[in-house]
Amino acid sequence: MSTFTPANTIIELISKLILLPVPLTKTFDHVMIQELDLNVNHVDKGSLHNDISANYKETRFGKAFRRCRYIMTPTGFIIRELALCGISFIPIIGPALVILLKASRAGFLKHYRYFQLKGYSRADIYFMWKTQKHQYFVFGVVIVILELIPFLNILFYFTNTTGAALWAVHMEEQYALGARSQIEYHDHLIKKLSQANKVEENSFEENI
């Protein structure tokens, strides 16, 4: 019997849209606060620094396009879920196809709260998707499989959210490491230039 029945789909929608969003958001925030040593009780949208280059910021056309897609999201979501439910009834390969089709989106949406904390625009979020879609696909395959396990799936909602938060923490550490490397590189250049200027000054004084 297929795991992707209409009843399971309805239960999943109720859990994701009504029961779980607030607890999962608090779980994600708690992990970020603890692992990054933020010394705050809670974090808000835009609390973390936006590290994406200005070259990828919103354009007028891009903003209009993404706004249209956002408006169409509820309709697209319903159509997608109904289509996946139908595909799941294909013998043998149906459930596997559904997992593969849901994987990228499932993995990507686990970082939705992270994108909020970074203060990302839709263009920034799209940039993250384009640059890391393969990682999100692999992460999503694991997520979808675990969250399909009866009775244990509620537990896995929280463990998967924790895993996504730890991944976000790693990304923040990488951003910080890159920023420190740039600062050290600039300091090194300034030091070299200062030394070169001193050598030139000394040489000029000796020639005089």
Which residues, 6+ apart, have CB-to-CB distance to 31 below 8 Å?
Answer: 162, 165, 166, 169
**65, pLDDT greater than 70:** no
**83, pLDDT greater than 90:** no
**155, pLDDT greater than 70:** yes
Give the pLDDT band of residue 72 (cuts 50, 70, 90).
Answer: very low
Quote the CA–CA distance of 3 and 95 in Å, as a whole number: 7
pTM over 0.75, yes/no: no
The residue with tokens 């903003």 is: 63
Which H/E stretch holds residue 140?
helix 122-146
Question: What pLDDT does 44 receive?
Answer: 82
Which residues, 6+ apart, have CB-to-CB distance to 156 below 8 Å?
Answer: 143, 146, 147, 149
Q: Where is average pLDDT lowest: 107-111, 135-139, 149-153?
A: 149-153
